[in-house]
Amino acid sequence: MRDCWYADKRDLVKWGVLTILAEKYDAKNVIQVAYYNPCEFGRIEVDGEVHRIPDEVLSHFRNIGNIESLAGPAKVSVFDAPFLKSNRAAYHDAVTKYIQLYKDSRGIVFLDPDTGLEPKGKADYKHILDEEVRMVWNSLPKGWLLVFYQHQTNRSGLPWIEQKRAQLAHALDLNEEEVKLAQGPKVANDVTFFFAVKA
C-alpha cells in the first residue's frame, strides 16, 4: 500500500468490507498488513518559494496509521513496516510473529498489497507471492479470517476476478467456493476483496 493512495474511494470499500466482516464473524481485531511503500509527495509553491508539504498535513490526509482510530466492532492495528524487494522473507516472518500477538481472540488478517497476487512470471514488490499468502494463512489460528485486496489485473475488459479467486484458493489449498468475494462495484469497480475462514 502506498500512502499517496490512502483514503481514496477504494478505502471506503476496503474498510466497509472489513467492518461488516468483523461484525458478521465477531472478530475482535483487524490486522492490516499494509505492505507499506512510502511515496514522495512532491513540493508546493507559495509566492514563488518551493516548500515541502507540511508533515501535519500529510499526517492528517495520508497517514495509513490513522485507520487505527476507526470506531467499529473490532480494534484495528496496522503492520506498517516498509515492504522492500530485498526483505520479502524477513517481512513475512515478522508478519506471522505480529499475528501471534493477537492470537487470544478471533481476528481478521487483511493483506493489502498495492495490486494483489503475483502475475505469472512478473512479481515485484506490488504483489504478494502465492507462497507468501500460504505462509500467512498457515499461521492463522482456527476461526480467523484472511481478507485479501486484489486490484483489477488487466485493462482490456477481460474477466479477471474468477482467475484470481482460483489462484488464491490454490495458494491456500482450498476449494474455490471456500474463497468468498466482497466488492463495491458502484464505488470502486476496479478492486475486489477475497476472504476465507481458517478451519
Q: What are the chain's domains?
A: 3-197 (3.40.50)
How does residue 147 score in pLDDT terms, banded at 50, 70 and 90? Answer: very high
For 16-50, how does the pLDDT look when each residue is reduced to its tens digit (9 = 90+)?
A: 999 999 999 999 999 999 998 887 888 989 999 99
State the pLDDT at residue 2: 63
pTM of the model: 0.91
Q: What percent of the chain has pLDDT over 70?
A: 95
What does the pLDDT look like over 87-103, one tens digit per residue? 899 999 999 999 999 99
Q: Which of 70-79 are b and which e, b meaning 16 or more Cβ less than 10 Å from the residue's Cβ?
A: eeebbbbbbb
Residue 109: pLDDT band with limits 50, 70, 90 = very high
DSSP, residue by residue, the chain: -BGGGTTSHHHHHHHHHHHHHHHHTT-SEEEEE--BBPPP--EEEETTEEEEPPHHHHHHHH-GGGGGG--SSSEEEEE--B--GGGHHHHHHHHHHHHHTTTTS-EEEEE--SSEEPPTT---TTEE-HHHHHHHHHHSPTT-EEEEEEE---SS----HHHHHHHHHHHHT--GGGSEEE--TTT-TTEEEEEEE--
Higher pLDDT, 85 or 109: 109
